[in-house]
Every structure is written in structure tokens, then in C-alpha cells.
Amino acid sequence: MFDWRWEFVGEILPRLFRATGNTVLAALLGYGIAMVLGLVFALAQRTRFPLVNRAIREFVEFVRSTPLILQIFFAFYVGPQFGVMLSPWTAGMAAIGLHYASYLSEVYRGGIDSVPKGQWEAATSLSLSPVRTYSRIIIPQAVPPAFAGMGNYLVGIFKDTPMLSVIGVAELMHTANSIGSEYYRFLEPYTLVGLIFLAISLPTAGLLRKAEAKIRRKMGLR
Amino acid sequence: MLFIDFLKNYGPQLLKGSVTTIEQTILAATLAIMIAVAMGLMRLSRNRLVYGTATVYIEVFRGTSLLVQVYWIFFVLPLFGLTLEKFTAGFIAVGMNLGAYGAELVRGGILSVPRGQWEAATALSMSPGVRMRRIIFPQALLNMLPPWGNLLIELLKGTALVALISVTDLMFVARKINSTTYLSAQVFGTALILYYIMSRAMITPLMRWLERLMARKVGKRL
């Protein structure tokens, strides 16, 4: 019934490690997109035009309350219907980047809202331009309170990359599936994928907690 | 094809898939709540074995991907002699995963109840069981309901992954229609809207109502 074969593990491990590189790359790329796009979403909800603010808010809510996997399919299949072919990587990065951008925009919003009103007024009275106000005064102070949330979503995006396997991105899950169907053995590939995820996400979460404490100390917070 | 014709032809199938999604959500949520309460309480135990068991459970389920867990429970458990039907495997995987996240909410909620409440209950010589059930837990529940609302939306989104082990939920039906008609924008767009309706028009109002109900029960005004 239960036979774990070490030779088989040795045989497939190099393939899984190579795929881990793709998984990490997908997570980092997606997170990079999400960080930039998330900031756009957060700032676009603070414009002088209530209609724009409202529309962006609703869009963020929509993306946050629908499944990522469906968004991945949407990004991959809707393009070709209108003559735009997207590669699995492009479609996948667009979907996962957009999904996490909506989450991060909420984190940024919380961070920006936590900056005391006096800071805005002080920046205005020093007649700093809006760009300088944001880049030098507001965002540096918004980062420490936002850091924990941002860290959680970095680990989160990493754990969501297996969904990219459904459109054929050759990351860990996709490789485990191919191995499984080549050898008709699922025990080792799926278990190893789980272990690789644990081995990366647990230390990362620990490091992020340490980094958060350090940032807070540097900014003179508790 | 006009969108209205599309809805006439494929709407009933999509609605039937939605019913399965709702069933999966309700079953997974029930399981997640039971696990979260049990593991959350175990995390507060002073017994190292009890505390350790809950910690390992939570770290394993939060440290690996839901998709990995779905595949593992469906494809690997049978090798241990435990074969689950796909419908059952689906909601068990989702429930166990979200239960691990919920456990931390339960723990945090209980810790947020002021010390005086524990002391007062002890002073009235309540047994630990009665104290938890009548005094601590209701107040903890009120504190943790808002994050539970978000968690339940995550859970609903998580059920979309059971489509990958061929449970005929909304995601599965949408994929099937897409593969026969190639009307990707219509079918995935409709599915996205249906998921949005389920989270914003079902889960969010339900949680608001529960929050008000609980607030009345413990005599607080929201």
C-alpha cells in the first residue's frame, strides 16, 4: 500500500529543483508587478475625482472577491478570442500580478491612512510638491505599518503559483503532474512539492518577521 | 452569438455549477470552523504535546499551497488506504486549509478578551469549561467576526480549485463550456460575476448580520 521509493526520489528531485527556480521566479515577477500596480491602485483611490476613486475601489473589490484560478483562465483564453495571443507566462503574470495588486493596494491604503494628518499639513506648509510629499514624507512612514501585510502577501503569492500550472507554466506543480503521469506515481512528486513549499515558505516567513522588527526599530517605533 | 442567447443556452448549467460551489463552500466552512476552534484552543494549551500538535498542523497547512493539498488528499491518500470521493476530498482539503488560517483568528480572538473577564469568571467559581463557553468565547467571537468574513470569502475562492479534481462546480462547468464553445469572455466573465455575487451578496451580508446579532447578544452596540 504505502511504498516510498528513495531511488525514484533521487531520479525526480533534480527536475523538481529546476522547476522550483521557475516557481520562485514566477512569485518574484508577479510580486514585482503587484507592488507597482498596487501602488497605482492605492493612489488612484485618492484622486480629486470621486468617480475615479469609486470605480477603482469597485474594481479592487471585484478582483479580491473572485478566484485567482478563474482570473488566470480569463487572462489566458480571452485574449485569443480577440486575436491577442498571450503566452502562458505573460497571461499568468498578468493575472497573478493584478490579483495581488488589489490585495497590496489595500495594504498600502492602510499604511497611508496610518500617517498622521499633521504630516500632510506640514508637507503642504513647506510647499512640497505632491510627488515630493508622497516620495519623501508619506510613503517612508507608510511602509513600516504596511510591512507585515506586504510580507504575508509575498508568501501568499508564492503559495498561489501552483495555479499557473493549469495554463501550462512549467513550475513545480506542473512538473509534479508530468512526473506523475509519466511514471504513474503520485506519492513522491506531490509529497516532495509540499515539502519544497514548506522548506521555502516557513524560513521566508521567519525572515520577514525579523525584518519587520528591524524596520520598526529603525523608524523609532516599538 | 448574442450574450442573451449565451445565457439562455448555458445559464442553467452555470447555475447548477454555482449550486455545487455553494454546497462545497458550506461544507468546507463547517469543517474549517470546527478545526479552527479546536486548533485555536489547542494553541492556547500549556500542555506541550497539545500545543505542538496544533502548531505543526497550522504551519503545515499554511506553509504549503491549497492546490498541493487538494491533489495530495485526492491522489496520495488512497495509497494509504483512504480513498475519498472527489466531492468529499474537495471540501475536506479546502476546509482543512482554511481551518488552519482560522485557528490563528480564534487564538487571537480569545487572547483579545480582557484579563478581568477571566478573573471575574474564576471569582464566580465557574469551571474552565463554563468560563470558556459562557464568558470568554462569546466575546472572542464578536472580536473575530470581521476577519472571519474575509476568511470565508477566501474559502469560497478556494473551492474553485476543486474543479481541478473534477468536482463539477462553477469553475469546472465554466471550463467545460469554454472548451466546447471557445466563448471565453462570455463564459469566464459570467463565472467571475457569479463568484462576485456569491461573495458580496451572500457572505458579506451574512457576516454583517452575524456581527450585529453577536453584538446584541453580548450587550454591545455596533
**Residue A173 to residue B171, Cβ atoms within 8 A:** no
**Residue B72 to residue A2, Cβ atoms within 8 A:** no
Polymer length of chain B = 222
Task: Identify the pLDDT of residue A159.
Answer: 95
Smallest CA–CA distance from A157 into chain B, residue: B65
**Site from A58, A62, A63, A66 to mutate, B interface, most B CB atoms within 10 angstroms:** A66
- For chain A, positions 51-80, list CB contacts with chain B under 8 A: 61-62, 64-71, 73-74, 77-78, 80
The total of other beta-carbon atoms located within 10 Å of residue A83's CB is 6
Residues of chain B with pLDDT under 70: 1, 221-222
Smallest CA–CA distance from B183 into chain A, residue: A81
Question: Distance between alpha carbon B46 and the CA centroid of its chain, in Å?
Answer: 27
In angstroms, what separates the C-alpha of B122 from chain A's closest C-alpha? Answer: 33
CB pairs under 8 A between A and B: 114
Q: Which of B68, B175, B196 sits opposite A66 (nearest CB)?
A: B196
Kindly report, residue by residue over B56-107, the tens digit of the pLDDT: 999 999 999 999 999 999 999 988 888 899 999 999 999 999 999 999 999 9
Q: Which domains does chain A have, with CATH numbers?
A: 6-218 (1.10.3720.10)
**Site from B71, B162, B165 to mutate, A interface, most A CB atoms within 10 angstroms:** B71
The sign of the dihedral angle between the CA atoms of A142, A43, A37, B192 is positive
Residues of chain A with pLDDT under 70: 1-2, 221-222
Task: Identify the pLDDT of residue B217.
Answer: 84
For chain B, the domains span 20-169+211-217
**Domain B20-169+211-217, classified CATH 1.10.3720.10, yes or no:** yes
**Residue A73 to residue B175, Cβ atoms within 8 A:** yes
ipTM score assigned to the predicted complex: 0.90
- Looking at beta carbons, which residues of chain A come within 8 Å of B64? 159, 194, 197-198, 201
Task: Identify the pLDDT of residue B2.
Answer: 79
pTM attached to this predicted model: 0.91
In angstroms, what separates the C-alpha of A114 from chain B's closest C-alpha? Answer: 19
